[in-house]
Amino acid sequence: MSHSRRRFIKHAATVVSSVAILPVIPSLRFLHTAPVAPSDTLLFGVIGCNGMGFSDTRSLLKNPNTQCIAVCDVDTNVSDRRAKNLVEMGGPAPQIYGDYRQMLENKDLDFVVIGTPDHWHCLNLVDALEAGKHVYVEKPLANSIHECDVMLRAATHHGKVVQMGQWQRSGPHWQNAIEFVHSGALGKIRTVKTWAYQGWMKPVPMYADEAAPDGVNYDMWLGPAASRPFNRNRFHFNFRWFWDYAGGLMTDWGVHIIDFALYGMKATYPKSVMASGGKFAYPDDASETPDTLQAVYEFDDFTMLWEHATGIDLGPYGRTHGVAFIGNNGTAIIDRGGWEVIPEEEYDPDLEASVPKLIVPDPTPRSGNDLDRHTKNFISAITTGEELNGGIKVGHSAAVVAHMGNVAFKTGRKVHWENGSFRNDKEANALLTPTYRSPWSLPNY
């Protein structure tokens, strides 16, 4: 009996359902699964279809021979609306589920999209793999470092295609910029800056606890997270700012941007990290995660800086977000709008400290839809065996490094990373693994 089936029987959760119804990692190939013929229609379902889950669905349906036949959400208001949307888009009426485990028993599904809050990703992904499905999972990979490790081991064990929702990996201008960084033209890169300044994010208003809205299975929404009264701030989009379910901007935006710092530097995990910040902009709003944060990561031969701020847009180099590779010859700056290089001044060649003049490439603007490119890459990986642009190893590295920044912030000191844990630090290591609420249990991989 599979792990998934044992958990399903053990938990005996109440099912709320309707009767209507991942730069390329060269070593990451999926040899355990025979490709699906490109002429065959790939059938899929969506777990968590309110936000990015449905954005991913729309994008996936632009690929020929794909069909969404199932939607699952703990909020029937959302699942009913998305089922209607799919019909309006010209597809068949999908089956509607309130419990994703029942949906995974549908043998017709080739893959699933996971768009649930971060604290659900581990269970969703492992159960989907054990049910024999390929998976497109939203970022960040999970809400803790240990969950990320479990998911990576499970994906490796089952050999299915797992694409992360880190769609920048399929963006041509991102790839072009990284090729330039790898060319060596910047000279020795000593520091990489990463940041997200989010002016759109205003204070989260305070709301009193209340009864869950009609149609919402709130106990299922909580899942493995701690039991708490329903509060609209902790539901749908704003879950990002509460530790039970997510890691704030550090993991929400950080995994996108930090991923490219690691990619550009051909790095995985730092030796140490320290962080400082807090709720400085909106100290009295409802959110828990810091609205202002700086983290310093130490690698063997360079440092990486992360910073974020809510409510303001004017970040480094006048950009709301980005990654900057600071080399002896110049600095390459990349964001979702394009990339540019700022060369260092040309020095007197007779001086010892001189550097060669940097030949600056023409700026490359963003063009097309990178999310569509990313979902196309996922479908091609299933049908033809094409290598993934953003497989689970990519998601694992970015999420673990981002979570390390949050651990350093929570402990208030420099933490040292060694062989998958924090060296001689019980407090930091206690933050590696979440406590799952009964009857849910962390998968064993």
In 13-133, DSSP assigns E strands to 42-47, 66-72, 95-97, 111-114
Which letter does DSSP use for residue 316 in this model?
A: G
The CA distance from 244 to 143, in Å, is: 8
Residue 162 tokens read as 């797992």
Rounded to whole angstroms, how far apart are CA atoms 116 and 71?
12
The length of the chain in residues reads: 445
Q: How far apart are CA 333 and CA 335, in angstroms?
A: 7
| Alpha-carbon gap, residue 335 to 174, rounded angstroms | 8
Per the DSSP assignment, residues forming a β-bridge with 292 are 278, 309
pLDDT of residue 4: 40
Q: Report in angstroms the alpha-carbon separations of 202 from 134, 286, 292, 311, 410.
A: 37, 11, 13, 5, 23
Name the CATH superfamily housing domain 175-367+398-418: Dihydrodipicolinate Reductase; domain 2 (3.30.360.10)
CATH topology for 3-169+374-391 is Rossmann fold (3.40.50)
What lies within 8 Å, CB to CB, of 436 at 6+ separation is 224, 442
Dig out the tokens for 221 from the structure. 């929404």
Q: What is the token pair recorded at 418?
A: 């060694």
Q: Which two tokens stand for residue 48?
A: 């968590």
In this structure, the number of other CB atoms found within 10 A of the CB of residue 15 comes to 13
* Element at 6 (helix H, strand E): helix 3-11
Show the tokens assigned to 91. Answer: 């597809």
Q: Residue ranges of the domains in the chain?
A: 3-169+374-391, 175-367+398-418
CA dist., res. 121 & res. 144, Å (int): 10
Answer whether 3-169+374-391 and 175-367+398-418 agree in fold.
Answer: no
- 134 CA to centre of own chain: 17
CA 322 to CA 264: how far, in whole Å? Answer: 13
Instruction: Tell me the one-letter amino acid at 27.
Output: S
In 223-253, which residue ranges form alpha helices assigned H by DSSP?
A: 249-252
Contact 66, 30 (CB under 8 A): no
Over the stretch 332-385, which tens digit does the pLDDT of each residue have? 999 998 898 988 876 555 555 444 556 666 656 666 799 999 999 999 999 999
Q: How many whole angstroms separate alpha carbon 369 and alpha carbon 250?
A: 25
pLDDT tens for each residue of the chain, 445 residues long: 444 433 333 333 323 233 232 333 333 323 334 555 555 899 999 999 999 999 999 999 999 999 999 999 999 999 999 999 999 999 999 999 999 999 999 999 999 999 999 999 999 999 999 999 999 999 999 999 999 999 999 999 999 999 999 999 999 999 999 999 999 999 999 999 999 999 999 999 999 999 999 999 999 999 999 999 999 999 999 999 999 999 999 999 999 999 999 999 999 999 999 999 999 999 999 999 999 999 999 999 999 999 999 999 999 999 999 999 999 999 999 999 889 898 887 655 555 544 455 666 665 666 679 999 999 999 999 999 999 999 999 999 999 999 999 999 999 999 999 999 999 999 999 999 999 999 999 999 9
Q: Using an 8 Å Cβ cutoff, are 310 and 249 in contact?
A: yes
Whether 59 and 371 have beta carbons less than 8 Å apart is answered as: yes
- In the DSSP assignment, the letter for residue 400 is H
Residue 333 tokens read as 């700056």
Within its chain, how far is the Cα of 144 from the centroid?
A: 12
Token pair listed for 108: 């017709």
Which residue intervals of 189-328 are DSSP H helices?
Answer: 218-222, 249-252, 254-265
Strand partners, 192: 304, 325
